[in-house]
Amino acid sequence: MTTHLTERAVIEVAGPEAREFLHSLLTADIAGLERGQCTWAGLLTPQGKILYDMFVWAARSDEGTQGYLLDVAAETAEALLRRLKMYKLRREVEIQARPDFAVLVDATEDDGPYFAFGPDPRWEEMGTRAITLVEMAGEFRPDPFLYHQRRIALGLPDSTRDIGSGKLFAHEANFDQLGAVSFSKGCYVGQEVVSRMQHRGTARNRLIPVVASAPVRPETPIMAGGKSIGAITGSVSEAGERAIALVRLDRLAQAVEAGEQAKAGEAIIMPVQPPWAKFEVPGALKMEDLADTDLEDDD
Output the DSSP codes for 175-197. TTTTT---SSS---TTHHHHHHH
Residue 262 lies in a domain: yes
Q: What is the domain extent for residue 256?
A: 204-292
Q: Which residues are bridge partners to 56 per DSSP?
A: 39, 70
* pLDDT tens digit sequence for 244-254: 999 999 999 99
CATH number, residue 25:
3.30.70.1400
Whether residue 150 sits in one domain with residue 72:
yes
Instruction: Indicate the pLDDT class of residue 51, thresholds 50, 70 and 90.
Output: very high
Q: Is residue 44 part of a domain?
A: yes
User: Does residue 132 sit in helix, strand or coil?
Assistant: strand
Q: So what's the pLDDT on residue 61?
A: 55
Q: Does some domain include residue 131?
A: yes
Domain co-membership, 159 together with 257: no
Of 130, 148, 163, which marks where a domain is finished?
Answer: 163
Q: What is the pLDDT of residues 111-167, one digit of tens each?
A: 888 999 999 999 999 999 999 999 999 889 889 999 999 999 999 999 999 999 999
Would you say residue 181 lies in a domain? no
Tell me if 178 is assigned to some domain: no
Q: How many domains does the chain have?
A: 2
Do residues 156 and 216 share a domain? Answer: no
CA distance 269 to 224: 10
pLDDT value, residue 202:
79
Q: How confident is the model at residue 296 (pLDDT cuts 50, 70, 90)?
A: very low
Alpha-carbon Rg for the chain in angstroms: 20
